[in-house]
Amino acid sequence: MDSSDSAPTSFFSSGVVSSLKKVKAGSRPSVEIHLPDAEVGKVRLRFAPEPSGYLHIGHAKAALLSKYFAEIYQGEIIIRFDDTNPAKESNEFVDNILADIDTLGIKYEAITNTSDYFDELMKMAEKLIREGKAYVDDTPREQMQKDRMDGVDSKCRNNSVEENLKLWREMIDGTERGLQCCIRGKLDMQDLNKSLRDPVYYRCNPVPHHRIGSKYKVYPTYDFACPYVDAREGITHALRSSEYHDRNAQYYRIQEDMGMRRVDGWDDARFPTVQGIVRRGLKIEALIQFIVEQGASKNLNLMEWDKLWSINKKIIDPVCPRHTAVVTEKRVLLTLTDGPEKPFVRITPRHKKYKGAGEKATTYTNQIWIDHADAVSISAGEEVTLMDWGNAIVKEIEKDHEGNVTRLSGVLHLEGSVKTTKLKLTWLPEIDELVNLTLVDFDYLITKKKLEEGEDFLDVLNPCTRKETAAYGDSNMRNLKRGEILQLERKGYFRCDVPFLRPSKPIVLYAIPDGRQQKSLK
């Protein structure tokens, strides 16, 4: 059973036990005893002991409850050895646990190991680093624990993706430097639920593994591995003891960051429901106009989505406010040596041709951020236009040993003509007031415009339908309201799905199609 886009429902053994007390000994279970959202024949449970000791009563309780529910719902159980800590585990414990499971009379579908997924888990960890959802931290363990209790950000939290990947390779190689490091998820260090305060995902451990020897020198934590493997193995319900209550939010958040949560529901922005397309940014006026233009056509089932979104663009463009964003990964700092010594602010319109969009405050500084994609297009000595400011001449370009542009310096040339420059650049001031953004793009759920007769839609499902990009936005975006539509200059149109709550929680913006040919998210 493959359920890579679904998440199991967690429930707690203490609550289950209290329900069991309602059943008289020897009687069949009543309908009051159930698993949330369970369907007969579609329940898959897992018993996941760590092979670091012998089974005790607590383990037996979890195993027997899994057996009980598997029988009631005509489901199945898998045994998964959570073998992520080679320093404590051995084949002796594996053999004895299996013997005890047999003694308990538990019939299982399969035996798996978390170590079966080590390669996949390492790729996932690197993916999260590249997406800015995880970072490498070398803070000593005691200090890290204190910082988590106090809600203090690690000094490593805002390291560049390049620096994180460099240290990740040190961890993989098990070097002396790597042994000082761990990978942490970039969740929310100020959340009242302390399990969400940047949990550890990976640690170095040079001890050989009891199954696979010395192949790896890094191992995932339970918190990181369990959400991933549960989803991969199609677990529908995760029986967890009551001490995991506060960790449920962490479990689901990690699955969400991994892209392994089930879709949101009928208002998922990828669905062709009214709620779905409105959540993605479609105006009802555009839908009405589109349907009117279709007239009495008999081909309404073959909707021309590009045309619908093109109509929508004509409605939103004249009125939606303009803002600026810079992609977080590899962003480049441009130093203007003759720029303003002290930052100053100008009040500018949010839309130059529509006063109803209101105003925004734009800060001007002598150091500004630009997108990496723009930085690599600039030549030394080239004159460029800084949008809503004026021209500048880039004098020097710094690169790292791999040839990546890391820094630029130049001078303002405000008397220069905008008409003579090839590059018109969006930029953000280097100030603390910038906001964190998550830009979400979507692709079609299926890879064909039309299914042929007898063709199974499961055969043409798109494996990548959602992509998230971390970015910084101008400080005015703190005032965006949920549902508000805006244009990010040179990036496209977006709908605010999650507004600003606090600095550690990104504003979530959904990309709105504009009617042009859509590129694949792969």
Residue 35 CA to residue 29 CA, distance in Å, equals 13
Name the band, by pLDDT with cuts 50, 70 and 90, for residue 448.
low
For 52-66, 176-190, 335-349, 381-395, which range has the lowest pLDDT when averaged over its residues? 52-66
| Lookup: tokens for 121 | 């888990």
The 8-class DSSP code of residue 345 comes to: E
Beta strands in 37-161 (DSSP E): 44-47, 76-81, 110-113, 134-137
Nearest by Cα to 250 from 184, 315, 298: 184
Name the band, by pLDDT with cuts 50, 70 and 90, for residue 231.
very high
Name the band, by pLDDT with cuts 50, 70 and 90, for residue 62.
confident
pLDDT at res. 449: 64
Residue pLDDT, tens place only, 501-514: 888 889 999 999 99
pLDDT above 60: residue 251: yes
pLDDT at res. 265: 56
Question: What residues contact residue 485 under an 8 Å CB cut-off, 6+ apart?
Answer: 281, 316, 320, 493, 494, 495, 496, 512
In the block, residue with structure tokens 């309201």: 481
Name the band, by pLDDT with cuts 50, 70 and 90, for residue 296.
low
> What average pLDDT does the structure give for the chain?
87
More confident residue, 39 or 447: 39
Backbone angles phi, psi at 111, to 5 degrees: -115, 125
pLDDT at res. 72: 85
pLDDT above 90 coverage of the chain, percent? 68
pLDDT at res. 19: 37
Residue pLDDT, tens place only, 307-343: 899 999 999 999 999 999 999 999 999 999 999 999 9
Residue 495 CA to residue 480 CA, distance in Å, equals 10
The count of other CB atoms within 10 Å of the CB of residue 457 is: 10
pLDDT above 90: residue 201: yes
Contact predicate 387/424, CB 8 Å:
yes
Would you state the torsion angle of the CA atoms of residues 282, 288, 290, 294, taken in this order, to the nearest 10 degrees? 150
pLDDT at res. 17: 35
pLDDT at res. 520: 64
pLDDT above 70 coverage of the chain, percent? 85
Strongest mean pLDDT among 237-251, 273-287, 418-432, 505-519: 418-432
Buried-state track 87-115, b at ≥16 Cβ within 10 A, e below 16: eebeeebbeebbebbeeeebebeeebbbb
* Bridge partner residues of 216 (DSSP): none
Mean pLDDT of 56-64: 85
In the block, residue with structure tokens 């993989």: 172
Question: What residues contact residue 184 under an 8 Å CB cut-off, 6+ apart?
Answer: 134, 135, 136, 137, 154, 198, 199, 200, 201
